[in-house]
Amino acid sequence: MRSRLSLLGTALSLLLLVAALGQVCFSAEKGKPLSGYSVLVIQPFTVSPNLKAAGMPSGYEDVLQKTLFAKLLSERVFYSVVEAGRGIPELKEPGTLIASGEVSDFAKGNRAARLAVGYGVGSAKVKVVMVFRDAVSGAEVLRLERTGRYAGFGNITGGSADKARSESARKVVDGLVKQIKAAR
């Protein structure tokens, strides 16, 4: 009887050890959802319908998308990064991700408020939501949100509207690339 309990205890301990190891392996894999992909296809970014009224310049989403494309390509985050719709047939190969992005929030900011008040008042802001889907299954692999702000700190004139837009966009792209690298 005693040996049966000992054997049962050993078997239970072994089962718990295997389950724990499996959980650790699963967690490590889950923490890097983009690790199994080598090709990224970036679709043209879209704009939330209410943002045109908020003063978002026409074509700003294209600038964000092209800047992200260039940064991912130059930093070799993926083996291959391509823009969808550039004469390239739709890729549905294993190891391929389809990335879509939407500009979901935008505030052009106010230079006078940045200059007169400071402390973040009058900041320009842009928020992008990106969704990464497996090209074969269409399943969502990862969703990222990133907001970039330009408050004009360190600029005695509060920064121009162009400077505010470009710095907000740069911060969004840099943040997204950092998040993407962390997921690889």
Assess whether 102 and 18 both reside in one domain: no
Distant-in-sequence, close-in-space partners of 97: CB < 8 Å, separation ≥ 6: 34, 37, 39, 40, 41, 78, 132, 133, 134, 135, 141
Are residue 144 and residue 168 in the same domain, yes or no?
yes
Per DSSP bridges, beta strands 39-42 and 140-150 are unpaired
Torsion, Cα of 174, 177, 178, 180 (10° steps): 160
**Pair 25, 37 in one domain:** no
57 and 4 co-located in one domain: no
Whether residues 84 and 128 fall in one domain = yes
- Would you state the pLDDT for residue 57? 81
Q: Based on the fold, state whether residues 85 and 54 are members of the same structural domain.
A: yes
CATH number at residue 134: 3.40.50.10610
Containing structural domain, residue 11: 1-30
Residues 61, 143: one domain? yes
Strands 39-42 and 96-107: parallel
If we measure between CA atoms, which residue out of 144, 141, 155 comes closest to residue 178?
A: 144
Is residue 152 located within the same domain as residue 78?
A: yes
- For residue 110, what pLDDT is reported? 65
Query: Do 16 and 92 share a domain, yes or no?
Result: no
> How many other CB atoms are found less than 10 A from the CB of residue 39?
17
Instruction: Count Cα atoms within 13 angstroms, Cβ side, for 134.
Output: 11
User: Could you give the CA distance from residue 56 to residue 28 in angstroms, rounded to a whole number?
Assistant: 40
| Residues 92 and 171 placed together within one structural domain of the fold | yes
From first to last of its 184 residues, the chain has per-residue pLDDT tens of: 545 434 434 433 333 333 333 332 333 356 899 999 999 999 999 998 877 766 778 888 998 999 999 999 999 999 999 998 765 666 778 999 999 999 998 877 765 655 555 555 567 788 999 999 999 999 999 999 999 877 655 554 455 656 667 778 888 999 999 999 999 9
How high is the pLDDT of residue 112?
60
Give the whole-angstrom CA distance, residue 163 versus residue 111.
10
Number of domains forming the structure of the chain: 2
Q: Are residues 93 and 144 in the same domain?
A: yes
* Its pTM surpasses 0.85: no
pLDDT of residue 177: 95
